[in-house]
Amino acid sequence: MIRPAAGARFAPGDAVRVLDMEKEGHVRTPDYAKGKPGWVAEYLGAFPDPESLAYGGDGLPEKPLYKVGFRQTDLWDGYGGSPEDVLFLDIYEHWLEPREHDGEEQRS
Amino acid sequence: MSENGHDHPHEEPRHESSPWAARIRAVEELLVEKGVFTKKEVKAQVEYMEARTYENGARLVARAWVDPAFKERLLSDTKAAAAELGMDASGPIGFMTLENTDEVHNVIVCTLCSCYPRAILGIPPDWYKSFAYRSRVVVEPREVLREFGLELPEDKRIAVHDSSADLRYLVLPQRPQGTEGMGEAELATLVTRDSLIGTDVPRAPGTRTNRFEAPSG
């Protein structure tokens, strides 16, 4: 089911941060996750780049896609739910950068 | 006085008079005129979507409850598991099934638009596409679930899945207690549409609470 990406940069368990970039167009990275720390939960395969595909481009080269986990308390100031709550987003590799582990990764 | 008999206009059924619908029709006409697709193909696609309902998801869940090997296949390759039950989800979109457990309850949203596993479950409910659901369930999931009539144990972790890219998600809810004697077809009737999104859970017959009922005491 999963098509391997040549040279996927991240592996499950890696600590990552979503890049805080302003970018116009068909971007699939929600604003609320920009700049936030998370971890790679799963590698989902390589997919045509939606930022090119949406405008008649060929979407190539394909982008590695990851399921990235976040602690809700890292996403929202004053999160009112349990500190155990999590949120997952599917993020393309060019929106992620590595960060130092803080020992809280890999919560399912 | 307008033709509907009072002094304010009425939205036509199915919102056919809205400017958005008019725009979609105009774009459709243009694409047909340019030969990108035919009217027949548009009709076939509408019928493809309308032929699918959440009952497909209910069948997948019920089979997974009675057949552990099928459950493993559903969790590892949803598309192949759907094909086993005769559902054609073979389009380019990928699917992933998320298992609810004693520890974690999954709930699905698409904050950017309205991504939904349409090839399996058909058309999403209107509230799924609403700004209120999409903006609130990520920030205050427990409160939103409570408004759906779903009260989760305090110690259960909530995992919100924002389907932001190329995969579509459905939830495999937990089999309710008290259903040990039930067969697959009967179990499928317990699986609600919302329980496949995570805003509800299946309940054993006779235990469903009516959220509109006045609280007792």
Per the domain annotation, does A1 fall within a domain?
Answer: no
Question: What CATH code is carried by the domain that includes residue B151?
Answer: 3.90.330.10
Residue indicated by tokens 């009952």? B55
ipTM confidence score: 0.92
Is B59 in the same domain as B46? no
The pLDDT assigned to A105 comes to 55
Going by C-alpha positions, the residue among B75, B195, B104, B168 that lies closest to residue A108 is B104
- If one counts every other C-beta atom within 10 angstroms of the C-beta of residue B211, the result is 10
Domains identified in chain A, total number: 1
Of these ranges, A89-103, B3-17, B125-139, the one predicted with the greatest mean pLDDT is B125-139
Q: Which one of A36, A82, A93, A106 makes the best mutation probe of the B interface by having the most chain B beta carbons within 10 Å?
A: A82
Asked if pLDDT for residue A79 goes beyond 50, the answer is: yes
Is B30 in the same domain as B77? no
Per the domain annotation, does B30 fall within a domain?
Answer: yes
* Whether B173 contacts B196, CB under 8 Å: yes
DSSP A98: E
The pLDDT assigned to B92 comes to 81
Q: What is the tens place of the pLDDT at every residue in A38-54?
A: 999 999 999 999 998 88
Its domain, for residue A73, covers 15-98
Is B138 in the same domain as B179? yes
Is B114 in the same domain as B137? yes
Per the domain annotation, does A61 fall within a domain?
Answer: yes
Is B32 in the same domain as B112? no
Active site residues of B: 110, 113-115
CB pairs below 8 Å between A and B: how many?
77
Please give the residue of chain A at the shortest CA–CA distance from B95: A1
State the burial class of residue B115 (Cβ atoms within 10 Å of its Cβ: 0-12, 13-18, 19+). buried
CA distance A48 to B52: 27
Is B43 in the same domain as B64? no
Q: Which residues does chain B have within 8 Å of residue A50's beta carbon, measured at their own beta carbons? A: 165-166
Per the domain annotation, does A9 fall within a domain?
Answer: no
Question: What CATH code is carried by the domain that includes residue A38?
Answer: 2.30.30.50
Please indicate whether, in this complex, the C-beta atoms of B160 and A88 are within 8 angstroms of each other.
yes
Q: How confident is the model at residue B89 (pLDDT cuts 50, 70, 90)?
A: confident
Please report, for residues A36, A37, A45, B76, the alpha-carbon distance to residue A69 in angstroms, rounded to integers and kept in the order given.
10, 9, 16, 19
Its domain, for residue B25, covers 15-50
Q: Which one of A75, A89, A93, A107 makes the best mutation probe of the B interface by having the most chain B beta carbons within 10 Å?
A: A89
Per the domain annotation, does A53 fall within a domain?
Answer: yes
Please indicate whether, in this complex, the C-beta atoms of B139 and A79 are within 8 angstroms of each other.
yes
The pLDDT assigned to A7 comes to 76
Q: What is the tens place of the pLDDT at every residue in B19-57?
A: 888 999 999 999 999 999 999 999 998 898 888 999 999
The pLDDT assigned to B18 comes to 84
The pLDDT assigned to B216 comes to 46
Domains identified in chain B, total number: 2
DSSP B6: S
Is B27 in the same domain as B41? yes
Per the domain annotation, does B211 fall within a domain?
Answer: no
The pLDDT assigned to B7 comes to 58
Asked if pLDDT for residue B133 goes beyond 60, the answer is: yes
Tell me if residue B122 falls in helix, strand or coil.
coil
Please indicate whether, in this complex, the C-beta atoms of B165 and A90 are within 8 angstroms of each other.
yes
CA distance B154 to B152: 6
Please report, for residues B174, B182, B213, the alpha-carbon distance to residue B177 in angstroms, rounded to integers and kept in the order given.
9, 11, 23
Is B37 in the same domain as B131? no
Per the domain annotation, does A10 fall within a domain?
Answer: no
Q: Is A30 on the interface with B (CB under 8 A)?
A: yes
The pLDDT assigned to A54 comes to 87
Q: How confident is the model at residue B1 (pLDDT cuts 50, 70, 90)?
A: very low
